[in-house]
Every structure is written in structure tokens, then in C-alpha cells.
Structure 1
Amino acid sequence: MKEITAKEVESFINKGKVLNIIDVREVDEVAEEKIAGAVNIPLGHIEFRMDKLDKTKEYIMVCRSGGRSGRATEFLESQGYDVINMQGGMLSWKGKVG
């Protein structure tokens, strides 16, 4: 499983790189704060909404601490998607939230 740090994600965003970020936390968790531009698909819905994802794009998976996003990363990877888990999740995030 590929991984990236929250600091690396923040750096890419600050440099203007367009990232495809999927936040797999529950709706109420994301309502409190999320990385600006992140799309919310709760972990339990990933299997049913993965057909909306483009296999030619790279996705960064995010959750609270990295566990749920790690499971989502492993699952999507097994389905042929290019995915990266953000280590430490939102607990490690120091950048802007939207």
C-alpha cells in the first residue's frame, strides 16, 4: 500500500497541484472539518460508489487517523484503482480546512 504524509499533501496543495482527495469518514465527522476540495465517501459506501471513480486518476484517501483510509486504500487497490493512504489522517493535518 502506497502512503503519503499529511505534510506532503499540504505541500502539493500549496504548490497548486490538483489532488483527488477522498475522505472516508462519516458525514458528521466531515461536517466538522475536512481538507478543502475533498470528496466525502464514507468507508461503508466505497464499494457501492467506486464506479464513480476514474481508474486513470490517482486518489488520496483520508480519515481521522489513517486506519479507515488504509482499509479503503487496500480495497480500492485490489479493484485496480491508483490510491494512496494519508498517514495519520486528519489528526496529522495542519493545513487549511474547508
Structure 2
Amino acid sequence: MEDITVEELKERLDKQEEFAFIDVREEWEYEEDNLGALNIPLGALPHQLGEIDQYKNQELIIHCRSGARSGNAKKFLETKGYSKVRNVLGGIVAYRELED
């Protein structure tokens, strides 16, 4: 699936749409600033797949600080059979710039 822009993500969050949403930053980063996604740090993702099994065939939006870690998470999840994974381009940094 193609990645998602911060503009599209913001619109969907503003509409309070229901979708699977994961933040793969470290816990301390998540605690400083988050968008309400489930926090599973990238390094822990292989060990916590059971927490997101129900999203295997659903759209799953993943973000991090800049889009790099979430891009890696997308590739990993695709190898595990997740077929509708979307990376937030630019991450939370780009998202926050939208709000300024």
C-alpha cells in the first residue's frame, strides 16, 4: 500500500476516524509528544506482534519521528504478512509543522 501524508493523517485524526495506528518511537519520545497511537518501539515490534495480529488484514498506519523507523517497521510487517501497512511520510516532525 502507498504511504500516507501528514495532511491526510491530520484530516483522518480530525474526523476521529477509526484505524489501526502505531508509533514505533521509543517510550521516552512517545511520552514527550504523541498522537494517540499505540506505542510499540521498533526494537520491540518483533516480540509484540501478538498485540497487533487483529490488524493483519486491515489498514495499519505507522509513524515515528521522521519516517525512517516507521519505514523499516513497514518493511518488517510486510514480511510477516501484513498487507495494508502505510508509513507516515515525514513522521511526527512533519505533522507538528502542519500545526504551526
Normalized against structure 2, the TM-score is what?
Answer: 0.87
- Could you say which structure has the higher strand fraction? 1
Once the two structures are TM-superposed, the CA of residue 15 in structure 1 deviates from its matched residue by: 2.0
SS at match of 1:92: helix
Matching residue of 2:81: 80
Aligned-residue Cα RMSD (Å) equals 1.6
Give 1:77 shift: 1.1
The answer (yes or no) to whether the contact 1:13–1:19 under 8 Å persists in 2 is no
TM-score by length of 1: 0.88
- Structure 1 stretches (4+) deviating beyond 2 angstroms? none
Q: Percent identity?
A: 40
Residues 6 and 89 of structure 1 are in contact (CA less than 8 Å); yes or no, is this contact kept in structure 2?
yes
Unaligned runs of 5+ in 1: none
Aligned to 1:52: 51
Q: Which amino acid aligns with 1:4?
A: I
Higher normalized helix content (fraction of residues): 2
Please say if 1:29 is aligned against 2:24.
Answer: no
Aligned to 2:63: 62
1:10 is aligned to 10
Q: Distance in 2 between matches of 1:74 and 1:91?
A: 21
**Unaligned residue ranges in structure 2 (runs of 5+):** none
Aligned length: 95
- How big is each residue's C-alpha offset from its partner over 1:6-27, in whole Å with a ceiling of 9 and x where there is no partner? 1101101222311211000000
Cα distance between partner residues in 2 of 1:51 and 1:58: 17
Q: Is the 8 A contact 1:22 1:60 kept in 2?
A: yes
